[in-house]
Chain A
Amino acid sequence: MLTKTNEPVVQMRGIVKRFPGVVANARVDFDLQPGEIHTILGENGAGKTTLMKILYGLHAADEGEIRLRGKPVSFTSARDAIAQGMGMVHQHFMLVNPFSVADNIILGQPSSRKPLMDDPKLIHQRIRTLSEQYGLIVDPEVEVGKLSVGQQQRVEILKTLYRGAEILILDEPTAVLTPQEVADLLPILHRLTEEGKSIVFISHKLDEVLKVSERITVLRDGEVVGVTPASDVNKADLARMMVGRDVILKVAKEPAQPKEARLQLTDVWVDSDRGLPALRGLNIEVRAGEILGIAGVAGNGQSELEETIAGLRKVKSGQITICDHDTTRSTPRDVGRFGLAHVPSDRYKMGLLPDFSVAENMFLQRIGESPFTQRGVLDWKAIHQQAQGLINAFNVRGATVNTPAASLSGGNAQKMILARELDRKPQVLIAAQPTRGLDVSAIEYVHSQLVEQRDAGLAILLISTELDEILALSDRIAVMYEGEIMGIVDAADADIDDIGLMMTGSKPTNGQTRGTL
């Protein structure tokens, strides 16, 4: 880095951004050298995305200065930023699925022969040239909706290049990619910098950050903790900087002491929304003091299983019991009363109300009970008091009782949900995709909470498509494929290859507990 003597292409000085109740950026400095990949690393809620939205003109900074190639700039919209050669690839793609790749790329671009569109052949030619130059191979004529996620991301990058971007901001580009697609993306980024582009890379995944970046700026709670060349640090250093303490990257747990069965599914058949069988004769049993992990590729009946137990989906045949109560036909309210708590896989469609306050979200199920309601009237003082207790106990950061849940980061939103569900003193917990989209320390927290609760005697059904998570937490592992349990193995002597095979539909040969055929 020191060899590059050029002036930085981007200089941000003393950037301050406040949101109600939160300082998202507290005097942040940031430099980007030409031809550099500079990572902004930090946990969810550390202020990474806010900083980049300020640079890209989507937010206005409350204080501070931005210079582009030495000249002070102030963007009032992304349009200004694009005109100055910036391009941003958002975490959620901004693509129109029924349109072709080329249509998506020229969308919003002025045509040189108004009112007609530019000659499609010329456009296609330009896109192909760009594709080849940077190794971003996509067919400009194919419909975007038919592309894989990795290919769609290439279209997003091409879109910025087509508009002449020199500075690229990539907001968590690998979060949506498979490991293979990540491996494909990283060389492309190097190719881009070789061609003179400068890249801001946002991530919280340590491995790839170390692999791809030249320099790393670490943010914590809106402040810069440090700026370091990637070659000078290792994973543990970065994790410590990010979180502010040593991080345990492996879950510590003792062997389980399982007791009585708390949740039983016997030959359960359930239909999907489209009326096709989603669970076919499922048999599982979760005992007090153990974690049963459901492994499987996404879409093999996991969400139906979760909803069925929670009373949200109709059972066609079979039986479900929770703590010796038959809950086959029970409502969500009743299964809750019988001792079930539920951390749902879809946090935003089920788990929380974004426009409700954190305090309100803490007691969604129990709002009508004492002490939250006294003589038929909500006792806001008690609600806030109890909620504050849970915020403290579960260390929900960035939250006051009045903060709308929408403004919590993913990790803190999940802590809020976990706090709510565990505070109900459940007998059985369904934890579905409990760490999806969370960062290192939030994952660590959720995992340690689950193990702690198991040790305290809770029966936990863990549904996760992350095999690592299943292996790290479960005492027994049930592998699900097309709505059937292919086999149940003890985690202690689980063979990853066997599990992998069962996940793709093969039955185990050594004959453990089997699902109904």
Chain B
Amino acid sequence: MTQEQTEAINTGQTESRNRALWRALGPPVIGAVIGFVIGALLILMAGANVQEAYTAMLRGAFGGSRQITETVLKAAPLLLVGLGLTVAFRARVWNIGGEGQFFVGALIGAVIALNFPDWPRPLLLSIMLLGGVVGGMLWAMLAGVMKIKWGVSEIISTLMFNYIAILLVQYMARGPLQEPGGYLPQSAQFVPEARLPLLFDSRIHAGVILAVILVAVVYGLLWATPLGFRLRMVGSRSSVARYAGVSVEKSILFVMAFSGGLIGLAGIIEVSTQLTRLKGDISGGFGFAGILVALLGRMHPLGVAIASILFAALIIGSESMHVVSGLPNSLADAIQAVIVLSVLAVDALARRRQK
């Protein structure tokens, strides 16, 4: 090969590296800009000041340590759900049942918290977390078994299981687990021993640290273990995986269990820290938002971590936009949705073009 050609190859490679970076970051940034512009139009139509509204949004999410704390607390469950779903989506198993798994995880953990308040704190907390994991895991595996045994689409079954789980928790919060003498649909408050410890003299709790550690764990699982390799094989083309001796069925069960487990963990953490009791409505849509976080993060643990922070910022920021600039709550939600939608749309368009 001539030197000229070698050079040609080398420049070709650096060029492709820059291009790869642009491909990864360009579309979401452009999408976000478009989303904010459309959002600005909505704000104008509502008769408010755009600059003021967006300033309120930014300050609300990142303006000070209190705001940043709120954002981080919102990001933690999104991150856990997003990480779990990343593993499932990598194997092309479309677990849409995060919401239900979140509720079941919270329910099992809460039952433990309410029934064994006298256990020593380390034991109680670890059994609670374990209960949350196992609850979410089994709930998700039901859909996995149905897919393997009878070919039921996991998209439909997991979605349906959401409603069952949500209604079950609402029933429990109003019935068997309702606070004695109370009239709200909620359980008694957990004893302090059943709440995860707070850190750094702030509201940041141990669950946040756990979520951050799991970023590395999921990364390691997917790219440093034979198991992760096989899961990615199944996601890439299951007929090839089967040819190469991978059990596609076991892989489906595993990713269902893994994603359900992480999501159930998110559920019990949320209940143990933010709410300190089981309520009829505990999630605020984490199970669904986590799907977006996983996709926005391109099913990569680091991407998911970034996406969860930004998504949380958007939620917290639009709440504060509503409070400060007096925009109706629904409009703030709409702006939030428009931004997410344009990021996803531009991203999808860019990817289609690359093909």
A contact set with B: CB distance below 8 Å? 16, 18-23, 26, 310, 312, 331-333, 336, 342, 344, 349-356, 360, 364-365, 367-368, 372-373, 376-378
Contact = CB atoms under 8 A, between A and B. Distances in A.
Contacts of A351: 240, 243
A4 to B, nearest CB: 34
B16 A20 contact: yes
A312 B243 contact: yes
A333 B237 contact: no
Nearest to A350: B243
A353 B240 contact: yes
A349 B237 contact: yes
B13 A21 contact: yes
Nearest to A383: B229
Nearest to A335: B245
A312 B238 CA distance: 12
Contacts of A376: 225-226
Interface string B217-232: 0000001111001101
A18 B230 CA distance: 32
Contacts of A331: 245, 247
Contacts of A350: 239-240, 243
B8 A367 contact: no
Contacts of A365: 244-245
Contacts of B11: 18
B351 interface: no
Main secondary structure of the interface of B (DSSP, over half): helix
A426 to B, nearest CB: 13
B151 interface: no
B292 to A, nearest CB: 23
In the complex, the 4 A-B pairs of residues with the closest C-beta atoms, listed nearest first: A333-B245, A368-B226, A18-B12, A364-B244
B9 A22 contact: yes
A26 B12 CA distance: 13
B240 A23 contact: no
B85 interface: no
Interface in B1-23: 5, 8-9, 11-13, 16
Best-surrounded residue of A19, A22, A331, A353 (most CB of chain B within 10 A): A353
Contacts of B225: 373, 376-378
A368 B228 CA distance: 10
Contact of B229 (A18, A19, A378): A378
B245 A378 contact: no
Contact of A353 (B8, B13, B233, B242): B233
A20 B239 contact: no
B236 interface: yes
Contact of B233 (A16, A342, A349, A364): A364
Given A367-B229, A378-B226, A353 B9 contact: no
Given A23-B5, A349-B237, A312 B242 contact: yes
A378 B243 CA distance: 21
A23 B247 contact: no
